[in-house]
Structure 1
Amino acid sequence: MTPAHPAALGVRARAWGYRHAGRQAWAVRGLDLTVEPGERILLAGASGAGKSTLLTALAGLLDPEQAGEVEGALTVGGAPPREVRERVGIAFQDPESQLVMARAGDDVAFGLENRGVPTPAIWPRVEEALKLTGFPYDRDQPTGQLSGGEKQRLVLAGVMALSPALLLLDEPTANLDPDGAALVRTAVERVVAARGSTLIVVDHRVDDWLPLVSRVVVLRAGGGVLADGEPAQVFATQGERLAAAGVWVPGHRPPRRRAPEPATEPLLAAEGLTHTYPAAGRPALVDANVRLHAGEALALTGTNGSGKSTLAMLLAGLLPPSAGHVRAMPSLYLRAGLDPRWTAARRRLFQRQSGDSPLHTWRATELVRAMGTVFQDPEHQFLTSTVRAELALGPRLIGCSPGEVTSRVDDLLDRLRLAHLAAANPFTLSGGEKRRLSVATALATGPAALVLDEPTFGQDRSTWLELLDLLANLRDEGHAVTFVSHDADFVAAFADRTLEMRAGRLVHESDQRMAAKRECA
């Protein structure tokens, strides 16, 4: 056990539970847990087991009088969490929810200013925090120009600058490339060592955190604790049981799902794609040439800020290129079920005007038949007040009958384990549940091609495997699946072809099927 530090805060839970407003099921229930000051805890559990809810409660951010129902007792440093909030730092799954200022340095300074830190002391602490987390820009960098992973690192810098006595991290490396994730773990280790802070971290990259933590606590879905102890001992003696319960366990590698046949039918051709965001100093993407094929899974990999998400948005028709074009091939129209007469008329119109029919100019009712999209931040695509309504929106848009809408929605609720959340507000779901809902909405219109940005973010082992099977089956049925990912296991298990990006350019292409054939030979 890590020695206690006078500044560290311990945690006590006694039969504690919390139920969100409007929910029948409890997010957490019957939790008995003691965390001593200075301990370093890896908090694990299946998706929906209540990990994020517990962290939010420990940060003093749950108000049962307004938002839900509480039972039992939960204390931090012997006091109700709301009374010690200024000594607790938390980084959420969604970095957007914690960014409040237009410039990076101002965002890190915001919390220090709110806590009354003298002005001369603020900026040295800001600079130190940015350096600790490996933030790649200076403090004048506009926050609106950051990639998802860069935003996550900036949020962590803001938390680190506060030197919290209890540090709570919810999937802090989920959207980071391996080097960026390693920088964050190093930063956490430095801060915890210097301050003696108590650490509780939720992260599905279990292996990477084992050198830093001294204890693993696994929450049981439905309530209580499933396992608790020294990590090596817990995983050695209970690994099979934990993996079966949906927990990521070191050494339990997932199976591979490669395409049974080589892909030959092109659906989409992108040529010379370049894109520069307004007010940006340099292009986010330069001269990219990509083809999407029916029956193929294409992975876009690379470091944070390399242009992966920009390329994905361009391929999905959601962003107009600054140069180049994205052209739909005839087979995409046919697979999307678009009227060939409309296709011919539209092509003649755009050939007269601009020589082609750019994908980003298609009407929404046409585009959703052809392309299904999952954004890096799932909340950016939620438009309704319930999970069921969210799934029904796309099918209604393309003119499905009420019976067909219901059938599609019920099928997706079951396939993605969201049926128990059908009446819930999408914005109240856990990070993993939001990700599954965003994938389900992309599938609801039956698109010919899918473009997904970090589809496995926040998933436990069970839902990760279910997503792999679902997407692999769609690929094998002839859909084109393109995905952005830092999840090396998912890329290895699913990708048939990989494009690596660096500084806005495609720098390497590999075909996993050819590599597998060479290995067999």
Structure 2
Amino acid sequence: MESGRTGPAAVRVDGWGWRYEGRDGWAARGVDLRIEPGERVLLLGASGAGKSTLLAGLAGVLGGDDDGEAEGSLTVAGRPPASARGTAGLLLQDPDAQVILARVGDDVAFACENLGVPREELWRRVRRALIDVGLDVPLDRSTSRLSGGQKQRLALAGLLAMQPGLLLLDEPTANLDPDGVLEVRDAVRSALDATGATLVVVEHRVAVWRDLVTRVVVLGADGGVLADGEPDRVLADTAGELRRAGVWLPGTPVPRSPAVADGAPLLTARSLEFGRGPAVTRRRKRVRPPVGAPVGRPVDADVREGSALALTGANGAGKSTLALTIGGLLPPLGGALVAEPALAAGASADPSAWRSRELLTRVGSVFQNPEHQFIAPTVREELAAGPRALRLPDGEVERRVDELLDRLALTELADANPFALSGGQKRRLSVGTALATRPRLLVLDEPTFGQDARTWDGLVRTIAELRGDGHAIVAATHDAEFIEAVGAARLTLDAAEVRA
């Protein structure tokens, strides 16, 4: 066996549960599971059912008593996960959380170096892994210059290079373009065929992984295992349990928004050039000139009341950067971005010149990474922050917050810390913080990732209703069903035109 490679790992889960510090409810509870070496398991369940928590437990990254409370037991290859060093590799939902080093090659090599893989073998693995995941960039490329989808591929490359006996993937295709989804799936398939490793993958969309996995396990929203077995048998859902639980099943219908007549112009882009800039926060706005050359070709676009525009294109084409520019959080590098009177409402016609309070009722931005915009200790206070900044009466703030908690299925989590939520719950909260101030223009970056069928439907219907009420929607997204559901026009950015 090559240095740094472990054999396929068995998984044992006996009555296991985990409750995060400060939470009354259990994130996962009563889970009993046996996974044999080399099995390929698709782990499903409603948003918040504990899928990510279980993967974190198997990877040995859940903290001690200060971070939460555990019950039952977990073993990986016959050992507690925390002591099974190098046996399990975990891909997190948030790719930024796994970027460690400044250069692509060094980042992919990091785990192998820690496992003592010989240098010659290490760099062979690094190059092979980057090819397998379709990340075609120089080894010395700065990791800070990668898009969210490219960072996801980077993180996966690091896992594949270490060749673990247990591969734990938490929504590995959530932020990838359609071609990238297939490349990543095929890279995982190749790694499994070569190593025989055990796989547990969490994904809400079943179709991508159905032909790769040998088993489907569904966690119940109230704990335990709802279903477990061969994929075709489980996904047949003869009793309708999975559909009621919000599991995405093949043939799940997509709601369609009724046609909406566009109203007054809100924002006009003419020969708009945009480039990457520093991080920004939603309520403590911080804007400096972007760095480097423009991303992609100049853009012409019109955003009107009641319109919906989807920014599409391959990873790295500049969708997130364009969204930040349209949202007034990055100034253009060239061309013109003009806020029309219906949106400016007496403020400057340059959105990048607006102060935070001026943005609140004009433009609401939702970042690709939800955690980048959280500022409060509880979900309720997070939703209330924007309305309070507008100095709305306490009764109106409370009414808006309660309505959003209900609409976004977050009522039971009102007192939870936003950072302790599941990925899908964090995404719904981040959308809610933008909706709370009722902006004329809503700019969303991957608004539907991490959602089960029910929460996706609720989120999409809420956004479609906003469009029907005359709000404008701009969304950077790979979700074709979302684009169809809200009736959005497409503006496709060409990755081939990206200028480094």
Is residue 192 of structure 1 aligned with residue 192 of structure 2? Answer: yes
Please report how far the alpha carbon of residue 493 of structure 1 lies from its aligned counterpart in structure 2 after TM superposition. Answer: 1.8
C-alpha separation in 1, matches of 2:115 and 2:164: 12
Please list, as runs of the form range in 1=range in 2, the aligned pairs for 1:82-481 lying within 5 A after superposition.
82-238=82-238, 240-259=240-259, 261-277=260-276, 282-333=293-344, 338=345, 343=346, 357-481=349-473
C-alpha separation in 2, matches of 1:168 and 1:403: 45
Q: Aligned AA for 2:305?
A: A
> Structure 2 vs 1, CA of residues 470 and 116 (structure 1 numbering), >3 Å: closer, same or farther?
same
Tell me what 2:287 maps to. Answer: none
Is residue 488 of structure 1 aligned with residue 480 of structure 2? Answer: yes
> Structure 2 vs 1, CA of residues 442 and 286 (structure 1 numbering), >3 Å: closer, same or farther?
same
Q: Aligned AA for 2:276?
A: Y
C-alpha separation in 2, matches of 1:206 and 1:123: 34
Please list, as runs of the form range in 1=range in 2, the aligned pairs for 1:507-518 lying within 5 A after superposition.
none
| Cα deviation 1:1-45 (Å, max 9, x = unaligned) | xxxx98111111111111111111111111111111100000000
Which shifted more, 112-121 or 44-53? Answer: 112-121
C-alpha separation in 2, matches of 1:252 and 1:275: 37
| Cα deviation 1:441-475 (Å, max 9, x = unaligned) | 00011101100000001000000000111011111
C-alpha separation in 1, matches of 2:405 and 2:6: 49
> Structure 2 vs 1, CA of residues 301 and 156 (structure 1 numbering), >3 Å: closer, same or farther?
same
Q: Aligned AA for 1:299?
A: A
**Which protein is richer in helix relative to its size?**
1
Tell me what 2:280 maps to. Answer: none
C-alpha separation in 2, matches of 1:241 and 1:293: 42
Question: 2:297 aligns to what SS in structure 1?
Answer: strand
C-alpha separation in 1, matches of 2:114 and 2:479: 36
TM-score normalised according to structure 1 size: 0.90
Tell me what 2:13 maps to. Answer: 13
Please report how far the alpha carbon of residue 286 of structure 1 lies from its aligned counterpart in structure 2 after TM superposition. Answer: 2.9
Question: 1:33 aligns to what SS in structure 2?
Answer: strand
Q: Aligned AA for 1:198?
A: T
Which shifted more, 275-284 or 54-63? Answer: 275-284
Question: 1:12 aligns to what SS in structure 2?
Answer: strand
C-alpha separation in 2, matches of 1:496 and 1:79: 51
Is residue 59 of structure 1 aligned with residue 70 of structure 2? Answer: no
Q: Aligned AA for 1:391?
A: L
CA contact (8 A) 1:286 1:504 kept: no
Tell me what 1:511 maps to. Answer: none
Please report how far the alpha carbon of residue 130 of structure 1 lies from its aligned counterpart in structure 2 after TM superposition. Answer: 0.7
C-alpha separation in 1, matches of 2:220 and 2:276: 45
Counting aligned pairs with the same residue, the percent is 53
CA contact (8 A) 2:272 2:299 kept: yes
TM-score normalised according to structure 2 size: 0.93
Q: Aligned AA for 1:321?
A: P
CA contact (8 A) 1:266 1:329 kept: yes
C-alpha separation in 2, matches of 1:275 and 1:448: 22
CA contact (8 A) 2:296 2:494 kept: no
C-alpha separation in 2, matches of 1:60 and 1:11: 13
CA contact (8 A) 1:101 1:107 kept: yes
Please report how far the alpha carbon of residue 104 of structure 1 lies from its aligned counterpart in structure 2 after TM superposition. Answer: 0.4
Question: 1:89 aligns to what SS in structure 2?
Answer: strand
Please report how far the alpha carbon of residue 280 of structure 1 lies from its aligned counterpart in structure 2 after TM superposition. Answer: 6.5
C-alpha separation in 2, matches of 1:220 and 1:234: 14
CA contact (8 A) 2:6 2:165 kept: no
CA contact (8 A) 1:44 1:218 kept: yes
Q: Greater CA radius of gyration, 1 or 2?
A: 1
Please report how far the alpha carbon of residue 164 of structure 1 lies from its aligned counterpart in structure 2 after TM superposition. Answer: 0.5
Please report how far the alpha carbon of residue 137 of structure 1 lies from its aligned counterpart in structure 2 after TM superposition. Answer: 0.6
Tell me what 1:516 maps to. Answer: none
> Structure 2 vs 1, CA of residues 359 and 6 (structure 1 numbering), >3 Å: closer, same or farther?
closer
Please report how far the alpha carbon of residue 85 of structure 1 lies from its aligned counterpart in structure 2 after TM superposition. Answer: 3.1
C-alpha separation in 1, matches of 2:60 and 2:107: 21
In the alignment of these two chains, the number of paired residues is 482
C-alpha separation in 2, matches of 1:205 and 1:178: 13
Which shifted more, 169-178 or 9-18? Answer: 9-18
Q: Aligned AA for 1:455?
A: P
Question: 1:394 aligns to what SS in structure 2?
Answer: helix
> Structure 2 vs 1, CA of residues 496 and 120 (structure 1 numbering), >3 Å: closer, same or farther?
closer
CA contact (8 A) 2:6 2:164 kept: no
CA contact (8 A) 2:204 2:248 kept: yes
C-alpha separation in 2, matches of 1:457 and 1:307: 18
> Structure 2 vs 1, CA of residues 505 and 396 (structure 1 numbering), >3 Å: closer, same or farther?
farther
Q: Aligned AA for 2:66?
A: Q
Please report how far the alpha carbon of residue 264 of structure 1 lies from its aligned counterpart in structure 2 after TM superposition. Answer: 3.7
CA contact (8 A) 1:18 1:26 kept: yes
Q: Aligned AA for 2:300?
A: N
CA contact (8 A) 1:217 1:228 kept: yes
Tell me what 1:515 maps to. Answer: none
Question: 1:207 aligns to what SS in structure 2?
Answer: coil
Question: 1:206 aligns to what SS in structure 2?
Answer: coil
| Cα deviation 1:52-100 (Å, max 9, x = unaligned) | 0000000011134221111112111121111113211010000000101
Is residue 49 of structure 1 aligned with residue 32 of structure 2? Answer: no
Question: 1:483 aligns to what SS in structure 2?
Answer: strand
CA contact (8 A) 2:276 2:321 kept: no
Q: Aligned AA for 1:445?
A: T
Cα root mean square deviation, aligned = 1.8
Question: 2:238 aligns to what SS in structure 1?
Answer: helix
C-alpha separation in 1, matches of 2:6 and 2:431: 46
